[in-house]
Amino acid sequence: MQTGAPSRTVTRNDVKHADPIFENADTGGRDTPRALRDLTFPEMERLLVADGLRAIHARALWRMIYRDGVTEENVARLTPPLRRWLAERDALVNGTAPGVAADIRSSDGLTRKFLLRLGDGQTIETVAMGYPGRFTVCVSTQAGCAMGCVFCATGQMGFSRHLRPGEIVAQVLHARDALAEDGKSGLRNLVLMGMGEPLHNYDSVLAALEIISDTRGLNIGPAKITISTVGVVPGVLRLAEEKRGYKLAVSLHGATDAERSALVPAGKRWPLDELIAACRTYCAKTQRRIFFEWTLIAGANDTPAQAQRLAALLAGLDAHVNLIPLNPTGGFSGSATSGVAATEFQRVLKSAGIPSTVRQRRGIDVAAGCGQLRTERGRVVVAGVSA
């Protein structure tokens, strides 16, 4: 903003050729169209119409971007007006594909992890996990994270910026295409468990999910998409009103405010009574099961008494608990719970009627914990500079 200028609100009408599609500017750069991948299908239709084309052209464009691929051959098949429009808007199509800073396969061949470089140099992590014919992609929603969970490599690096919808969508496309080169197809599930807090970047995340779940394109059904949140209460309440039916997982890690806040500072802002009340609202309004994540840390949150407290907290909710043994990170001295303690924790939950699963974080040899690859690469770079 210019200083000294008379104070006046700049409206879209002041901006020549402004796109009519980003009126509801919010976090994540939804006000600045950078890529066609930032647009939901209705937004793409509106953009085409605003530029004098017909809405029907959106179908061919969408199919090319999300199904067939943006190749010279496929562009040549489009109608001449659409080709001309694409040429004029080249930056929107080509200017934003992420670069690959690292591409690592786990030794068991089941996990592949990408460190992608965005246009401004930020790096984010995307992970593909699974077997041939069926795999899950885990995407980032922010570069870094503002929530500061003490055991999390992303929390330890702090917040850089929100991702735009197209930067979230691009991760899915990248993983799908890279795995296809390996002969792997079958992208079935999407989890928002990479870097960042999805509900801190609500509008861009929901736009990205609308694009990703669109049946004309990537077609990952809402029931196959899990949004994982640290417990941003206003976001949980907004999600309760959404009609699309994404799965929700809430990261708890502690069943008293004191124990939780020691690991998850966001617990001070949104205490457990507010958070669990929001979860009850979510279940009542959506009629859906809710998932809770609990990273098991030896001596911190893995005793039978703590399992009892967790069970009491979740009483009456249609809940499923995912127990995740800690993946050690450089900035946190804790260690993973033993298998015996994890089994006991699970037994206590079960006897209170709460189902749970112990999830192994796969691909530890590719630094598959959230934010760990970027941290490790950062060290490599620093070492290179100082050598």
Site for ligand SAH in 123-182 (CB under 6 A): 149, 151-152
- The residue within the footprint of ligand SAH, chosen from 160, 189, 204, 251 (CB under 6 A), is 251
SS3 state at 219: coil
**Whether the Cβ atoms of residue 291 and residue 322 lie closer than 8 Å to each other:** yes
Q: Which stretch binds ligand SF4 (CB under 6 A): 96-104, 147-155, 333-341, 348-356?
A: 147-155
**CA geometry: angle at 361 spanning 315 and 326, to 5°?**
70
Catalytic annotation present for 43: no
Quick one: which of 48, 44, 45, 22 has its CA closest to 33? Answer: 22
Catalytic annotation present for 167: no
Residue 143 sits in the site that holds ligand SF4 (CB under 6 A): no
Site for ligand SF4 in 361-380 (CB under 6 A): 370
Residue 301 sits in the site that holds ligand SAH (CB under 6 A): no
Instruction: Give the residue closest to ligand SF4 by C-beta.
Output: 155
SS3 state at 60: helix
Quick one: which of 118, 68, 74 has its CA closest to 96? Answer: 118
- The residue within the footprint of ligand SF4, chosen from 61, 93, 124, 152 (CB under 6 A), is 152
Comparison of 47 and 310: residue with beta carbon closer to ligand SF4 = 310
User: Which one of 45, 125, 197, 259 is the catalytic residue?
Assistant: 125
**CA geometry: angle at 214 spanning 211 and 219, to 5°?**
110
Residue 201 sits in the site that holds ligand SAH (CB under 6 A): no
- The residue within the footprint of ligand SAH, chosen from 139, 293, 321, 356 (CB under 6 A), is 293
Residue 327 sits in the site that holds ligand SF4 (CB under 6 A): no
Comparison of 101 and 300: residue with beta carbon closer to ligand SAH = 300
Q: What type of residue is 378?
A: G
**Whether the Cβ atoms of residue 246 and residue 286 lie closer than 8 Å to each other:** no
Residue 300 sits in the site that holds ligand SF4 (CB under 6 A): no
Pairing of strands 123-131, 111-117: antiparallel
**Whether the Cβ atoms of residue 324 and residue 296 lie closer than 8 Å to each other:** yes
What does the alpha-carbon distance between residue 297 and residue 295 come to, in Å, rounded to a whole number? 6
Nearest approach, Cβ of 104 to ligand SAH (angstroms)? 17
Residue 45 sits in the site that holds ligand SAH (CB under 6 A): no
Q: Which stretch binds ligand SAH (CB under 6 A): 25-33, 78-86, 225-233, 308-316?
A: 225-233
Quick one: which of 368, 378, 382, 331 has its CA closest to 156? Answer: 331
Quick one: which of 34, 39, 73, 30 has its CA closest to 58? Answer: 39
- The residue within the footprint of ligand SF4, chosen from 98, 155, 165, 334 (CB under 6 A), is 155
Quick one: which of 136, 139, 194 has its CA closest to 170? Answer: 139
Comparison of 64 and 168: residue with beta carbon closer to ligand SAH = 168
- Contact positions vs ligand SAH (CB under 6 A): 149, 151-152, 193, 197, 228-230, 251, 293, 295, 324, 326-327, 329, 361, 369-370
Q: Which residues are catalytic?
A: 125, 370
